[in-house]
Structure 1
Amino acid sequence: MHALDSLIVKLQDVDRIRAKQGWSQRLKYTESHVLLVVTHGEGLLQLEHGEYLLSHQRVYSCGPKQTYGIREVGAAGLEVIILRFNLYQECASQPGQLEIWREEAEFLKNHHGRLLLPGEKLISLCESMDYNWQSGQELGRYRCQLEFQNLLYDLVQSQAGTQKEDSLALLERTKAYIEGHFTENLTLERLSAMAGFSQSYYVDLFKKRYGMSAMEYMTQLRMDKAKRLMAVSNLKLRDIAHQIGYQDEFYFSRKFKKEVGVSPSVYMKKRCRKIAAYSIEAIGYLLALDIVPYAAPLHPKWTGYYYQHYGKDIPVHMSAYRKGLDWESNISILREAAPDLIISLDNISAREKELLEAMGEVHYISAEISDWREQLLRLAVLLGEEKQADRWLSAFASKVHTAKTSLAEAAHDRKTVVLRIEKEQLYAYCSRATCEIFYGELGFSAGYSGNDSMYNDPITVGSLHLLEADYLLVMVRQEDLTLAYWRRLCESPEWQSLKAVRHNQLFMISPSPWLEYSPMGQERIVEEVSHLFIGK
């Protein structure tokens, strides 16, 4: 019996994205199952720890409790219909009662980038579902439920069939092959033959799709593995070179310096001490001292910036899911990693401190009392990086001065309110970083006053009208309930009549730097505000 025979399917929502060239959507978290159907254009789907090409007339799936993001990469824009649905099963302990089935559906796992239905049938069915869901007609959504059942049936049935791979699927197959065999002596002749293309066509197509040549991609994979080996082992340079596919250690050394910017010996010296960042903020302190942590909480959504820029250089990844939720698992990971030093905020539980200190030396960063600059200098003394701290602080001061000068006209005599949107509630928000950098050093004026300098106060759209803010900076939690509320809010006349919305002075901001109080977090706020207001 097929798994679907024992499940009940309910379509929850149909949404349509019409994206212009260069558009991107931040990673979002979903509690539901999601199907994405590309009706026009091309893009990239970031799904947990991998990326997939989004192409016309293809279907992609994302399971519950996963994160996904979308980016347009073609010249003609991108249109995607997003179908969110839940699966229900009979509760084993209470016959007759239904419970949500949160597992990733095995029968949808292999649909990434695969053309599952004849193109015209797929697009026609999805266009009809989108129309019926949004129409407001009697029985429109009921009909949509039936159409979705048909779509799901056809998708599952298609797994039994075989379909001829198109050029994109063949290209992705060779990319996956490189990822599994990059330590071997791969050649363009071999890879292009796998895809059935001429070498020149293969080279052009690969670079167009992935932004680098196949050989450059192979080199990147080799350097990433070399850095991981340098960080976690005492292997000699010759042995590392051999393990990643180079027989000549001197050629490898020259190649490494060209790609990474420093020689292998300098890189290994920098990584010889295993320093773990137990908290997200600790990552921002260590990176300001030019130290890449040995272990850190990383996730493509929850710590997206650090994951994207440093994830491949950090050997040990701990959970970053909803700060502090997986602390016991993170303690176990650290115990196995055996770091020489652990850096953590001091606002963790007594039990966590006890277990961390049982592993060895722990340095605590004050979460509430001291200024981040003072904390950075204290950490620099501990690690012998005083000169690097001075250099970083000097460069940061210069960056703030330049930004403040450029932003003076935009900030002058104009009120700003920072908003958080979570579930179905608006909050006027000011974190410590927001207070010190945005309102303090960059000189913007707060359009809302809380009972304290830092606040997270519920607020209504009606109250926002009374504030008459010139600018709204909005951070939206990327999960289904919040996003559905945000869409409804944007369509409401009350929201559209807000002063900042009418004058097109609403800016979407990434939550992570505004919630994080660290040197790197402060720097990222300066960069984001400069980009939003003056495009730099």
Structure 2
Amino acid sequence: MDQQQQVEELLSAWYSAAFTILDVRHVCLKPREQLQNYRLPANSFLFAYRGSALVELDGQPFITKSFRLLHGVKGSTLDVAAAEDLFVYYLILYKAALTLPEQKEKKSVTSGSVFGQTFGFEPGDPLSLLAKAELLGKQWHESDLLARIQTKATFFAFVTEALKQLQEQNVPLTGGDLAGKVLRYMHVHYAEPINLEHLAGLLAFSQRHLTRLFKQQTGFSPIDYLVRYRMEKAKGLLTSTDASLQQIAASVGYPDVYFFSRMFKKITGQSPIKYKEEEMLRPNNPLGKSRYPIAARRRGGHTGNDDNNHYQRMGGYQMRKGTKHATALILLLSLTLLMSACGGVNNSNTGSGNAAAANNTAQQEQATERVLTDGLGHEVKVPANPQRVLASYLEDHLVTLGVMPVAQWSVGEGSVQQYLQEKLKDIPAIPSELPFETVMSFDPDLIIIDNAEMVEGDKYDKYSAIAPTFTVGNGKNNDWRQELLTVGDILNKRAEAEKALAAYEQKAKDAKEKLQQAIGTKSAAALWVTAKSIYVVNQKLSSGDVLYNDLGFTVPAVVQEISASSEANWSTLSMEKLAELDADYLFIVNAKGVSKEELLKDPIWASVPAVKAGQVYEFDKSGSWLYTGAIANGQMIDDVLENAVK
């Protein structure tokens, strides 16, 4: 049954329904308060109109901000976790059934099936519903019979308005919203490796769409929320257990204790040890606040007066909610004990040995850690043998040196460097902009940045808070040869880098000699043709460096002119300049979506010498012509020799 049929069936059922109102409640939860495991005694409408909360109906999550209308089914479990402000809602309990004529007419439809659907949506006209809910609440508590009759009319008006907006907004009658599902997944799996790509794949959304919707509803990006949730869990373990820092880090999803400590300090402003020290000295130790139920405390029913436990009783049905505070730490341990607790949980026989081993390990790591100065003058402490390297757009160098990155550069909807996929096919993609939260999700132990432009403003500080961050160049474009050597230095693979570079230089030298013997001194140009524009490569950059510097092709005058006025790898080539392009050979990256033959039919294209001579060679985006590096340039040389040398 499709969405429209479901709504039509619901409208038809309410048209002929016999219903009874069982209770109307006006509920106010204090900031960070929870209602837990409340079993609905009847079908219910929950209309929230103030504050924010995570509401779950039988485990189906709904992020609720300001106005939200939910429908729950008798017997369902209702859980509500308020955020950092008051959360106020009406809960309307009712019983409805199809009248006998309707039941006979639609034998396949039962009252339970048509009224027993859990759904929720954000009403387009919430004030209309609020007015009816307020009137309903007022009438319900009046004792005269006329008011009770009016209550039925108001309830039906409320339901009618809700159904009208449900139909107009075409809301699916399925439980749970996107952000709520993500929250619930993270609350259960926070200790496991989670990244944005994984979350998006679970819900069949693009990473960008998921981030936008989640942030709209929660105020956080998914990964930012996950990090904060993990840190709140870590806070609780730090202040309520004697677990070591390593154990706590692992239990909240960080196998690397050093990375965990950096993230903890970034979020809280304190190291884990400092946080624990200060919390132990406080007479009361309430959990730190956070928006939404990142650290919301579970509330359970308990005895006491109405003011203390917010006991509610309305219309014969009961609902309890209460506030439970974290217990205070009453024992002040010595600094030695504190360090022991954070360093490891040891038995009496092996404690001193383990402590000594841990100390030796730390000294060894410090001894093998190197301090290098990057292109921007930062002194960077680089791990001796990093295992999780993120070097976006520098993957050519990594593969050349035999290092697999933790994530690979991508652009648009996940388009990667296809020419490297024989090696990188199993490596997840990361957007070229390197979003902070996405970088965090990959838990790198070393970040290598291509150029200064990528770390403008406070970006460098943010990346370096995640992992040691080395910026290779101080400008926009770097010499790829020097770049390869620098990456080799960073990764302790200088010898491998020099060997790879020497092999490339020999290959280029041999190819240049073959070309000169086969075709002599000829001119050439590399063009990138897209649906909207034509681009020509800079004579000193990317494939231009290969054609003119390494292989010895003559630089056409048009290419010289454009290169002199642009620092970009590829610059726009107008049709007027295309007509002036005096190139004997054309190497085209064709991304226009038409064949080479169709492209060259144009009279302007046909006037280029290379086209007249039939010396136009086409490559698609899977080639390496748009990139640079020992592998990319080596493949370009192979392409040129294969096509130009007959």
Same fold (TM > 0.5): no
- Larger of the two Rg values belongs to structure: 2
**So what's the TM-score if we normalise by structure 2?**
0.36
TM-score, structure 1 normalization: 0.43
